[in-house]
Amino acid sequence: MRYQHVSIAAFEHTLPPHVVSSDEIERQLAPVYDRLGLPAGRIELMTGIRERRFFDPGTKPGTISAETAARAVEASGVDREFFGALVHGSVCRDQLEPATAAAVHHAVGLPNSAMAIDVSNACLGLINGMLLIADMIELGRIRAGVVVGTEVGRGLVEGTIDSLLNTPTLTRQDVKADFASLTIGSGSAAIVLCDRRLSKTGTLLLGGAFGSDTSSCALCAGGVESEKHGDDRPRMQTDSEALLHAGIDLAGTTWDNTRKVLGWTNEDVDKVFTHQVGKAHRKLMLDRLGLGIEKDFPTVEFLGNTGAVALPSAVSIGSERGQIAAGEKVALLGIGSGLNAVMLGLHWQAG
């Protein structure tokens, strides 16, 4: 896929106020660690995640998404009258129906002519939302749009801790399947895209490629099983090792296709932003793709895995910290359970 008319007008993020360290989680799990002989410090040692952040208990994703989207729209400098779509793309939503996008659309004050839809695709929801908006802009159906999402991981992490503490038959293998759930954090991100003639930044979405390996769809699965766990907090089971290797294989194929579409070599890439999972995933993926780790901007150490908002949050934070210079070519490397991958190229012009 190639784009000729699509500009990235703004990236924005919102960080939750409450910081929870990996050490604190392990202190809560001390009875399990002691009974199974697990070494303290294993979460940070294995993943590089020293802390993650949570919103207040009971926070609805749409409430935070409205704040993030509103800031992104303002930062873009694009008048609301030009917006033709709002996509809400995180795993977390306010309810089954109506779409969380409806409340966010209303709160942001977008015109009634702008569609409001939810898109769900694990950790790729916001990137898929980018493509939907970009396609509509490229086709001339709309002139601007915003994709936004908010992940509220507190319930998953705290529910997993409770389940581990209250399962007397728990084994090391059981802990292994729940381990990825303890890496989850919370956050919010938004991206505004527009017709390049409206853009105040000049940053172009050049295109990219997508790929899938749906034979791996069972390697990471989450949801609510109230009967099993006794509450309505979500739980997730992950075969982390198998998911890692299947994901790296898919990433390699997708990156090869992305380079062909864009006409890039690895030497053309100035900066890389990836879906943030952990240090092992980061190193193995960049090694497989042949991209220098110095080009990447990691946030997983202090945010944890924030699902669909991880990649756009990293771009927003990196831009805010001056990690991207005008004229640089930027690669966005997205991957999510399922397995699905989307990799995109930007020509960055914002100062």
Catalytic residues: 97, 123
341 closest CA partner among 270, 288, 293: 288
DSSP per position, 263-312: T--GGG--EEEE----HHHHHHHHHHHT--GGGB---HHHH-B-GGGHHH
CA distance 204 to 206: 6
Please report, as a single letter, which amino acid is at residue 110. Answer: L
Cα–Cα distance, 307 to 120 (Å, whole number): 11
Nearest to 240 by CA among 281, 181, 286, 180: 180
Under DSSP, is residue 347 helix (H, G, I), strand (E, B) or coil? strand
From CA 279, how far away is CA 259, in angstroms rounded? 24
